[in-house]
């Protein structure tokens, strides 16, 4: 019958969806002979990395690690393995947050707007990124909820989510100050000045405090609870420390304003961009606020970044701040993310802290330090195989693995197209009905 | 006695002048000694010496062959290269503040304004000029940006000088032209389509041809009134200056080649991200390509850009140079040293990657008599590095332009 083939294809595709593939992959894999950079300790020459069930089960020198019987052994002699990169600020997937109706819209979500088949997501995998904080923009004081994603090979956003034990979707809250969120000369609802920006934010957080108080006083009595408010409940999560605020801020005084608000309302904060962070490095360090910075090749482009210096990372490191990196894709291309480390070292950061900034620093900024950021037993098997030293311009990301599944392989022509570019690279990943031949394999 | 004091005064002055004179003379005499010297005019020299005198390269060779005379200031480096050339930028017109007063790279009152000169808009003291200089970029083609059908002229300058006259190498280098979406007019004006872009250009070139004919053949009292726009296009028709055509889609590149053929124009392709699709056609037309920055964002008309295109074009025998391009936001300029490093990692050999920002760029820009290689008689534009110029962790340690040390910042 005519309907049979499409039906078979449909059933086949469901059966071979990523979820069921994960269940099938139980055989351990041992990657043998690479230089391993675990980040949690010194690099291991002639190392062995064993992964199974999506986790790292062993990592160490060849002499100290027993390769389990029956494991698939992969020779990675001459290569370098390090943890998958953590991009703490990206706009891949073409998602959105708030619209033009007002400057504070924490109720809007990247979850409801991202396209995970967008070609930018393919490029992120090619760049060695395994965990990414996808954010709405900086045109608002708060543009919405961010999403922490694992770049698994998925067709829908649900395939890429990170969930905690209670089933909560991992993500943060985007906030911003400075010129992007100001509409000069505005008569409302957007702020026209920096002072107005801060006071609008304070008003909302005060409302959130009162909302929280009402809920507490209600002691579960449904008749006393306030009507559920999608925006205020997110601000409450931030104040309760359950949702990290990722705060876009450039100028030194704007950075201090962000810290001031964080202190007043008790929300945890990651400073994002921090172009003039070097001017207030001691204050940032004293506030224990992590700083996620971007490596940009020239100052200017807007007034807030005219004093951007290449030494930003080095100066923040020296002041004792936690420094991480991001692409702000599409501002910089995800495929060049690893370049951040080399360029930061060029300008004075230590090698160790620069590589930490690409991995574990980001993990900590996303509260995912127990799962990713280093190559340690028990952590997610998120790693990249490089052709050489991560700080060398010549080194390529050869393979990207997320939870023990290969999601990018430079040797596959369709993957190489996104890594290097070329005709068709502008096209989103298409859903091909090749279920019969297993489609995208995981080896 | 008074005479004694006068004599003492004169002796003192003579003494001061002699010291001043001898210091000035030494500043004009520099020896750069590098463990590896890329002359870009032959094999790299191990333990090489570049002698500089009065702004020019005096002599280049190995340390064994070339004695460093006394009175020469010696600078040492691990690697030495010619000054880097950025074949297409907008620095000096498009400033880093990105405010209305420092954005002079695009006049949008009309779509075709080839008469606008870059020398009339250049701010030599703009911070980004200094920024490029510190990274060893010593010569740039800068001026009007892509973004209008014919936005104006470009020029070639050194990244030094307090004003354009001190910096200029070629005051009128090319006419900046843009095809495709970036070349459309705003607000419903023409051109609004690709077909209209080409037909407007053809009509304007025909008009210029008529103007030029009348100017040269008509009697003095019957010559047309002098017209700056027609004059500029007449220079293009006579092949005195090229059209610098920004085009990314393969169809726009083909339109550029077709236009060049119809009017026998010299053209240079600018950007050309889909040029890998029409390699044979570009090669047959003998058109050089100033390829887009390697790390450019792949979106819009550049969505199909490949990092390997410089290598692809070079392998086909097409002349290639590299650029930092035109950025409207952040980063306000790119740096060809870094873009060349990215190209080096994508199919170019060490010397090929150097060539697209030195010799080959100089040749395409028509300034190879002065810059692009370390050879006797050429301008003393030299860059010093503490390691492989393309490695992330290497640094520029010194920059010399016209025989003067203009930067010793470690960048």
Question: For residue B195, what are the contacts with CB-CB under 8 A and spacing of at least 6?
Answer: none
Q: Do B298 and A346 touch (CB under 8 A)?
A: no
Average pLDDT over residues A275-296: 98
Distance between CA atoms of residues A18 and A54, nearest Å: 13
Nearest residue of chain A to residue B249 (CA atoms): A423
Q: In the prediction, which pLDDT does A19 show? A: 47
Q: Does the distance separating the beta carbons of B276 and A423 come in below 8 Å?
A: yes
Helices and strands of chain B, counted as H and E runs: 11, 15
CA–CA min distance A388, chain B (Å): 12
For residue A260, report the phi and psi dihedrals to the nearest 5 degrees: -65, -45
Residues of B in contact with A296 (CB under 8 A): 330-331
- Which residue ranges in chain B fall short of pLDDT 70? 1-3, 9, 11, 13-27
B133 touches chain A (CB under 8 A): no
pLDDT at A437 exceeding the cut of 90:
no
What is the number of other CB atoms lying within 10 angstroms of the CB of residue A441?
Answer: 11
Upstream peptide bond of B191 is cis (omega within 30 degrees of 0): yes
Tell me the β-bridge partners of B168: B157
DSSP per-residue codes, A385-401: EESS-TTSTT--EEEEE
- Is some CB atom of chain A closer than 8 A to the CB atom of B385? no
pLDDT grade, residue A20 (50/70/90)? very low
The two three-digit tokens of residue A76, written as one number: 């990675």
User: Chain B residue with minimal CA distance to A333?
Assistant: B297
Report, as an integer, the average pLDDT of A430-442.
49
Q: What pLDDT is stored for residue A435 in this prediction?
A: 47
Chain B neighbors of A137, CB-CB under 8 A: none
Strands A44-52 and A55-61: antiparallel
Q: Helix, strand, coil % (nearest 5) of chain A? A: 30, 20, 45
- Rounded Cα distance between A379 and B276, Å, is 43
Cβ-based neighbour number of residue B410 at 10 Å: 13
Nearest CB to B298: which of A298, A306, A333?
A333
State chain A's mean pLDDT as an integer: 93
Tell me how many degrees the CA angle A408-A413-A418 measures, rounded to the nearest 5.
Answer: 60
- Tell me, yes or no, if B335 comes closer than 8 A to chain A by beta carbon: yes
Distance CA A148, CA A163 (A): 9
Three-class DSSP category at A222: coil
Range list of H helices, A219-338:
230-239, 252-265, 281-286, 312-318
Element (H, E) at A397: strand A397-402
pLDDT category at A112 given cuts 50, 70, 90 is: very high
| Distance of residue A306 Cα from the nearest chain B Cα, in angstroms | 7
Partners of A138 on chain B (C-beta within 8 Å) are none
Contact A358, A337 (CB under 8 A): yes
The predicted pLDDT at position A429 comes to 82
| Least CB–CB distance from B392: residue in A301, A330, A342 | A342
Give the closest-approach CA distance of A215 to chain B in angstroms: 44
Beta bridge partners of A174: A144, A246
Across the interface, do A333 and B305 touch by the CB < 8 Å criterion?
A: no
* Spatial CB neighbours of B297, under 8 Å, sequence gap ≥ 6: A330, A333
> How confident is residue A26, by pLDDT bands cut at 50, 70 and 90?
confident
Number of Cβ pairs < 8 A linking chain A and chain B: 111
Nearest Cα residue in chain A from B126: A300
Chain A hits for B390, Cβ within 8 Å: 393
- Which chain A residues touch B if contact means CB-CB below 8 Å? 119, 123, 296-303, 305-306, 310, 330-333, 336, 339, 341-343, 345-346, 391-394, 396, 420-426
Cβ-Cβ contacts under 8 Å for A2 (sequence gap 6 or more): none
Residue B338 φ then ψ, to 5°? -70, -35
Question: In this complex, which of A333, A391, A420 lies closest to B393 when CB atoms are compared?
Answer: A391
**What's the pLDDT tens digit per position in A309-329?**
999 999 999 999 999 999 999
pLDDT digits (tens, 9 = 90+) for A60-98: 999 999 999 999 999 999 999 999 999 999 999 999 999
d(CA B180, CA B303): 13
Residues of A in contact with B327 (CB under 8 A): 301
pLDDT higher than 50, residue A180: yes
The tokens describing B395, both together, are 């640094």
> Which of B299, B305, B335 lies closest to A297 in CB terms?
B335
CB contacts, 8 Å: B341 with chain A: 393
The rounded distance, in Å, linking the Cα atoms of A342 and B177 is 37
Tokens at residue A384, please? 């990249």
Q: Shortest Cα distance from B14 to chain A (angstroms)?
A: 46
CA closest to B309 among chain A residues? A422
Are A426 and B303 a contacting pair at CB < 8 A? yes
CA A431: distance to chain centroid?
25
The one-character DSSP state at B37 is E
A227-241 pLDDT, tens digit each: 999 999 999 999 999
């Amino acid at each position: 019958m005519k309907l049979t083939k499409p039906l078979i294809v449909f059933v086949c595709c469901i059966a071979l969806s990523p979820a069921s593939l994960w269940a099938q992959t139980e055989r351990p894999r041992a990657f043998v002979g690479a230089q391993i950079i675990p980040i949690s300790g010194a690099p291991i020459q002639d190392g062995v990395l064993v992964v199974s069930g999506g986790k790292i089960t062993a990592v160490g020198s060849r002499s100290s690690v027993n390769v389990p019987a029956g494991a698939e052994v992969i020779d990675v002699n001459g290569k370098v393995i390090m943890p998958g990169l953590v991009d703490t600020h990206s706009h891949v997937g073409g998602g959105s947050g708030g619209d033009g109706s007002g400057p504070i819209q924490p109720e809007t979500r990247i979850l409801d707007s991202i396209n995970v088949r967008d070609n930018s997501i393919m490029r992120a995998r090619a760049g060695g990124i395994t965990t990414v904080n996808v954010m709405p923009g900086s045109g608002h004081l708060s543009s919405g909820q961010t999403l922490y994603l694992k770049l698994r090979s998925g067709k829908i956003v649900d395939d890429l989510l990170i969930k905690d034990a209670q089933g909560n979707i991992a993500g943060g809250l985007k906030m911003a100050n400075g010129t992007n969120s100001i509409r000069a000369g505005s008569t409302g609802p957007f702020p026209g000045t920096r002072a107005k920006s801060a006071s609008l934010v304070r008003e909302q957080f005060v409302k959130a405090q009162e909302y929280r108080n009402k809920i507490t006083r209600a002691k579960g009595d449904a008749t006393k609870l306030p009507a559920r408010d999608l925006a205020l409940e997110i601000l409450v999560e931030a104040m309760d420390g359950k949702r990290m605020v990722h705060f876009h801020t450039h100028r030194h005084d704007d950075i201090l304003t962000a810290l001031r608000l964080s202190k007043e309302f008790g929300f945890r904060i990651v400073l994002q961009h921090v172009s003039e962070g070097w001017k207030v490095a001691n204050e940032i360090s004293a506030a224990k606020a992590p700083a996620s910075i971007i490596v940009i090749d020239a100052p200017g482009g807007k007034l807030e970044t005219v004093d951007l210096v290449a030494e930003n990372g080095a100066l923040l490191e020296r002041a004792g701040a936690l420094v991480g990196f991001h692409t702000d894709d599409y501002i910089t291309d995800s495929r060049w993310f690893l370049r951040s480390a080399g360029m930061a070292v060029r300008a004075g950061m230590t090698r160790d802290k620069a590589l930490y900034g690409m991995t574990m620093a980001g993990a900590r900024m996303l509260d995912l330090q127990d799962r990713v950021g280093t190559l340690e037993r028990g952590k997610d098997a998120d790693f990249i195989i490089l052709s050489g030293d991560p700080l060398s311009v010549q080194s390529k990301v050869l393979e990207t693995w997320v939870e023990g599944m290969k999601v990018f392989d430079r040797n596959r022509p369709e993957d190489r197209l996104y890594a290097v570019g070329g005709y068709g690279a502008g096209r989103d990943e298409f859903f091909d009905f090749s279920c019969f031949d297993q489609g995208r394999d995981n080896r | 006695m008074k005479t004694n004091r006068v004599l003492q005064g004169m002796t003192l002055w003579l003494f001061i002048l002699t010291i001043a004179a001898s210091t000035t003379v030494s500043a004009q005499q520099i020896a750069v000694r590098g463990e590896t010297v890329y002359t870009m005019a032959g094999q790299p020299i191990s333990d090489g010496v570049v002698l500089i005198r009065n702004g020019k390269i005096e002599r280049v060779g190995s340390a064994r062959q070339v004695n460093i005379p006394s009175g020469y200031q010696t600078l040492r480096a691990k690697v030495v290269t010619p000054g880097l050339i950025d074949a297409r930028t907008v620095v000096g017109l498009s400033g880093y503040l990105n405010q209305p007063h420092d954005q002079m790279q695009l006049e949008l009152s009309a779509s075709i304004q080839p008469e606008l000169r870059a020398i009339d808009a250049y701010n030599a003291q703009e911070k980004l000029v200094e920024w490029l200089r510190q990274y060893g970029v010593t010569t740039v083609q800068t001026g009007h940006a892509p973004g209008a059908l014919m936005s104006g002229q470009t020029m070639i300058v050194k990244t030094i000088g307090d004003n354009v006259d001190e910096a200029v190498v070629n005051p009128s280098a090319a006419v900046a032209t843009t095809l495709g979406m970036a070349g459309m007019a705003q607000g419903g004006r023409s051109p609004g389509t690709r077909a209209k872009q080409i037909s407007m250009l053809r009509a304007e070139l025909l008009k210029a041809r008529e103007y030029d004919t009348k100017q040269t053949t008509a009697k003095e009292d019957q010559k047309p009134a002098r017209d700056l726009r027609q004059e500029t296009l007449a220079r293009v028709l006579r092949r005195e200056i090229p059209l610098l055509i920004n085009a990314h889609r393969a169809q726009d590149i083909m339109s550029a080649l077709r236009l060049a053929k119809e009017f026998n124009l010299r053209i240079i392709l600018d950007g050309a991200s889909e040029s890998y699709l029409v390699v044979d056609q570009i090669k047959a037309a003998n058109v050089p390509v100033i390829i887009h920055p390697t790390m450019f964002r792949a979106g819009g008309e550049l969505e199909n850009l490949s990092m390997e295109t410089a290598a692809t074009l070079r392998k086909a025998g097409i002349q290639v140079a590299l650029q930092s391009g035109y950025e409207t936001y952040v980063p306000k300029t790119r740096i060809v040293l870094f873009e060349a490093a990215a190209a080096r990692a994508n199919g170019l050999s060490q010397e090929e990657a150097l060539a697209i920002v030195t010799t080959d760029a100089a040749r395409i820009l028509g300034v190879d008599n002065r810059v692009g290689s370390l050879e006797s008689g050429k301008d003393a534009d030299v860059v010093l590095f503490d390691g492989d110029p393309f490695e992330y962790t290497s640094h520029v340690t010194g920059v010399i332009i016209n025989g003067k040390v203009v930067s010793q910042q470690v960048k």
